[in-house]
Structure 1
């Protein structure tokens, strides 16, 4: 038997130690990260504490326009170990003092203490300088104290090295412990068992039993006992085989005697067959008479077939009429879904437009007040600041709602035009699916159902977009109307991927599902589980025709009661008509 390239114990040891190493690494990194966050929090608290130390003297220096004194205070702060940068600004936001590592700040001074994180591991604490005079408070500027990652690391450096060293020592000890245990308990006993099994002699099986002595009653002991039992069974089988061979020789002798008797019986049967041949001749004459009767019956059937052809022609005309009626019903179903889309979009557009009108009216009122104050020469700096703040917020609110209304109208316009047209074009499938979903948002407005779309952002296809919109709309509306009935919240997942030149769409919901009988009839025309409650039974039939005929693809459905419904749709990136014209 050849030597094993990679032993079982080595594989097992490698996997166990790999898992332990990964867990140790994760725990160590987590401890380091926790230590980092804790130390950073302490430094931030120390920066806040510095405010009580020098804020009063720095405020008075700025109030008295004593810039040299402010610079001296800034230099003193920079000498502190936790401070890597100091920035002092006046009430206009202009920088008076900037020492060390700082980030230029634009705009008005801060009104309250705020902690900020910057790029490069830098973070700062900014707070206002308020001067109190005669019971009045005046903001004379602000101060920003900066610290960085190096300050934090200098405090936790020893702890990090201790954590890493502790992890290395524990890992080395476990490696030694596991290697010793695996070698003594698994590798060496397994090697001895393998060597004895390799020395198996078929001619002397009783001497080929495993004689290894194991200290514990474990799986190796069971392997040894099982192998020895197999040897015992082999010895018993060989003994039984010898007995069977002797019985076979006796049976062969009996078989020769039976062959003689059989030859005698064959002679008797030959005589009986001659009599049977005479009987067959008589039956042949009877068959000829029956053939004549069958010929007459065939002539009668031909007449009946001519009559059936006439009836089939009449049925074909009826089928054409039914097909026209079916096409009209399909078109009505499409227009009905488009009508529901129009109503929902109109309701959703009304809300942002109303907010926009309110915001514009508020802005007009504030402009009139500002104009009156300007003409009366009573306009103050504070009033102007308040107006600019309110105007900015109002303008932002107005633009947000106008953009929202514009997006709703644009998505509705694209989806509505595509549903009413069968023209083919190239489009981004991910963006188009989100447009369709946005046009269906009114249907989700009164529910807590969620829809998630997973589609590559750069996936481009060429087909009639209205087909995609109609298929997606029908699947989502079926889930809302049937799958999520009597459910407070449901989830829909639409996943799309491309494999070679084929698009695969997988649609899943976690609704109430369908039984096996209803699932078998899902794509049949006029089949619905809400007969008499407004269901037409054409939604899934339309989906089936659009996928198989318009897109040239395939669709299948899977479901079980209580486990939701799944559609799997496959179709080419380019439809057959498009590829044909390209050739």
Structure 2
């Protein structure tokens, strides 16, 4: 008959349940990671929508196809964006890059003015389609749609490391558990049973004392109880043999000594029974104490293992949470930076439209008087007065056209230099006075709506080797913060910027005459998401971005002082990176 190993059968069942449980939990974790990452990407697509909708709407409204294509090419370069489609108000495709998915016309569905979510399981694509709405004279007009697509490939690339970690972790834990169970079952069950079987097979009825179990584990369990029972049976067998031999000897004695020997035997049996009873009682007491101590030790070990497991899990969760918070903070800082640049570009674009409109009017007028002169020449009605009038009008139109185009070119040149610097991390030598003038000139559209003034005191010979984009972002954020927060309810605000060079370090002192801050608000000024205008759309990241750029990007230092009614005072010290 085939022998079935109890330990192997028990081990296989326990490990089967553990394998199924581990596989299920790992699968659920991977699915949850996939869904969470997909949700984050959708959120990033919605944020990107808010950033590009203004510029795309303006480009489609002005029929600037090249600008639409340039913006689309910039977006498709983002790893998260796998496809982009821009259509006009008649659903005609203006540009289509990357992946694409077939959508039902929004106009036929009555959803032309609403955002539409996209989720194509067969093509592995998802994203959002939203309308481009242009506001003109208090009226809104839908000029087209934009579709941003991402794919499951992006999700898998983000969670690939996490999946490998989950699978590796499950495999390591499974291997360790299999090894531990094999060792435990072999030591606690298989080996003791084999030893017990071998000793039972060596039973010698002629010498039962030699067949007793020896060198057994002192631990009290079922196997030790079985061994003790077997030893007790051997003891009884030995005692029986002794009694049988004694009885045989006593039978050969004289009958006259039988009563006396019986009496002595009874006394001896009573004495031994009493001694044996006391001994058994003492052994039972010791056994109970040992069992109690063993239970206490097992409970303590179980509690410590549970505590260690809980601490390990909590520590891992905390590390994961910190990593996610850091990533979220980086994304928020980058979104705030892009939002500021997008708002500035929209205002510059609006400001450029004014000289361009004047230029178009001048060209139209010049074309009209040129056509009239041509008619006069054809009709032989030309005169010196006509030529003089044409020359004077043409000269005025040309001067007006030249001055306005020069103004638009200067504005775009300043904005282009500042915007390019903010979009890359290149280090170069800049003349700080000229660069600050370019920065202020680039945000002139925002200042033009106010009566605020900016005074700059900087030696024109000062130059520094550093990150120009970081300096531009700092100056722009400081000025926008003063206009938005410091000059609230103040019509004539004044900003003073003093720049000096001392011991190869650039010192920027920024002051405004705004409303200032109280002591409590001043302590929280660099805290992320702290804002006094949360109800007006404030994010609380402006001052935090300034501090992050000064300390982490430029390796400098920043101090701030303020009192209510006395404005805000920043002192920024930056090193020349040629000497650091």
Q: TM-score, normalised by structure 1?
A: 0.45
Q: TM-score, normalised by structure 2?
A: 0.46
